[in-house]
A and B are shown apart, each in its own frame.
Chain A
């Protein structure tokens, strides 16, 4: 067994520096690497490029990095629900690259799986395709999209083991598996870190080969963005 555990978030984030590009898992606030984000805030590094489907809310998730003006560029598919984001974007402080959600996921997966680029129909004929190579296959038009390149991936899983194997819960899975192994270093934080052999190999979602460092996360808030309920009849 090749051991991937590190004792804490400080060790897990060794090597991060200003100007780097990071991938961060999560959809809205669901499944975000809360511990890694808190540590990035503490480290105070600047000029970060973040590849993340969303940009958090004002006081949670990537919103915490925005508050400290640590992010230079956001690559996302949807960036509503964040006033500070809007202010920085409109003032020109923050660069934003909007990418169709499926294309964003696949650009991560392509980096993980060794594809330099792929053709997708998403965005053909729209401003997203401007300046990009297009090609026809079987009478339909496609846009060439390159894989992302990133220095670190920060992902969050439900359970993990010492070998870096990961299991996710519910829709907190989202972009996390696609980002594993898609950057030079993948850092996984988990709600429950277990000894090797504790997880059933049949039930692993992401094999440890895609993870360089894994640590036991702490103090998960798991904030709900839109609490919707129904009444009991």
Chain B
């Protein structure tokens, strides 16, 4: 079974040379720590920066340079700043190659819910609806089940949707899956996790073909 860093590490393998990548808040943010150093990648933050670097050293924080999580950040050589309309132009216009975000629920047809729980305080969707509606390549990083132990991979989302038919791949603490027209296709098992465990934790249709390899570490 993977922890949050393990999920981030596995997703980092999906980040290819030359990619512009948008990382959501939570596990997706950790992905930046595991991207190979021998490839060229730029991270976009929707509040208006491309070429995000690590957090600043203490005493070097700049209130005018933050990421979408409102954290102080730095920029790397080649970075640029832009306004919000241009930022979402990059996203809507499919110039960003990969979007990695968290989710509360994903359905077997690729629907995603990650912004609202009825009856609870709604904080808003931020840029999530724009990202999922336009990105060609969306990977969801999340736990396979919620705190109550219920599957987050469903036939149909029960929560209000963020986007329809948009998720391409899901990496959880238990498995890597691809969204296909037949449902969730199991691609890899997390270390030490059996196919039976994954089947039991998946409410939506799970397609298991032949031997499912264990994730390479």
| Smallest beta-carbon distance B67→chain A, Å | 8
B71 to chain A, nearest CB (A): 4
Q: Find B92's partner among A31, A89, A120 (CB 8 Å cutoff).
A: A120
- Given the interface pairs A79-B124, A102-B91, A122-B92, the reply to whether A172 lies near B64 with Cβ below 8 Å is yes
User: Which bracket fits the contact residues of A?
Assistant: 35 or more
Q: How far is the CA of A28 from the CA of B87 in the complex (A)?
A: 16
Inter-chain contact B58/A100, CB cutoff 8 Å: no
**Are A28 and B64 neighbours in the complex by a CB distance under 8 Å?**
no
Is there a chain B Cβ closer than 8 Å to A90's Cβ? yes
Closest chain B residue to A76 by CB distance?
B124
Closest Cβ–Cβ distance, residue A178 to chain B (whole Å): 5
Q: Which residues in window 91-132 of B have CB below 8 A to A?
A: 91-92, 111, 121-130
Whether a CB of chain B sits under 8 angstroms from the CB of A14 is: no
Q: Which residues of A contact B37 (CB under 8 A)?
A: none
A100 to B163, CA, bound (A): 11
The answer to whether B87 and A105 touch across the interface, beta carbons within 8 angstroms, is: yes
Chain B interface residue count, CB cutoff 8 Å, equals 52
Q: In this assembly, does A59 line the interface, its C-beta being within 8 Å of a C-beta of chain B?
A: no
| CB atoms of B46 and A101 under 8 A apart | yes
Determine whether B26 belongs to the interface, using a CB cutoff of 8 Å to chain A: no
Do A101 and B58 form a contact, CB below 8 Å, given A30-B63, A174-B83? no
A98 is an interface residue with CB less than 8 A from chain B: yes
Q: Which of B55, B65, B66, B84 sits near A28, CB closer than 8 Å?
A: B66
Of B72, B85, B111, B125, the residue contacting A109 (CB under 8 A) is B85
Q: Is A227 an interface residue (CB 8 A)?
A: yes
A228 touching B124, Cβ below 8 Å = no
Residue from B73, B84, B125 within 8 A of A175 (CB atoms): B84
Answer yes or no: A219 CB below 8 A from chain B CBs. no
Contact between chains at B84 and A124 (CB < 8 Å): no
9 contacts between A and B (CB under 8 A): A28-B66, A30-B64, A90-B121, A103-B130, A105-B83, A175-B84, A226-B69, A228-B72, A232-B57
Top 10 nearest A-B pairs (CB, nearest first) are A102-B88, A102-B130, A125-B164, A105-B84, A170-B64, A80-B123, A100-B129, A78-B124, A222-B63, A121-B133
Binding site for A on B (CB under 8 A): 45-49, 54-73, 81-85, 87-88, 91-92, 111, 121-130, 133-134, 160-164
